[in-house]
Structure 1
Amino acid sequence: MADASRRTVRTIVQTAVALAVLLPAIIDASGIPSTLPWVAAALAVAGGLSRVMALPGVQALMPRWLRTGPDRDDELRRLDRTGGGGL
């Protein structure tokens, strides 16, 4: 895939994920009642998409350029503290 195509796909995916994350705040700020069926469905889909995209298994299936980085705290927890070289 050409670099321009990858950038385009990545931008579209990132924008969709960002909108999914921001959708609850956008709906709240707009004053649209969240009890409307289409709004409730959109919020449910947005929440589900955000959760699924954050799963480690899904992250592993994504191309490297689309993955989020590991959590720094998780990296620190995995350090081998029994190796004798420490503080």
Structure 2
Amino acid sequence: MDLLVNSAGFGSPLDFERNDIEDEARHLRLHVEVPMRLMHAAPPGMLERRFDTILNIASVSAVMPRFTYGAVKNWQVQFSRWASGAYRVAA
């Protein structure tokens, strides 16, 4: 079995309005774009093998407002739920 684990992340130390917007954009790319690109690359081979797993690790912040960190983690949870339904293969 092959396994893809998306677990990278970091939080910003300041409130959103005090953070540099470029830091916020890097934060968004890491938490959203990177897992999306990895998950886009993985399914063709995984579907062929029928037994592989993608594990996306989010945070409790995904279900509570916590600056942009909570927002990007909520995106990851929602994207994971969609992918689970779309790519689930009966063993």
Q: Which one has the largest radius of gyration?
A: 1
Q: TM-score, normalized by length of structure 2?
A: 0.37
As a proportion of its length, which structure holds more strand? 2
- Between Structure 1 and Structure 2, the one with more helix by share is 1
When normalised by structure 1's length, the TM-score is 0.38
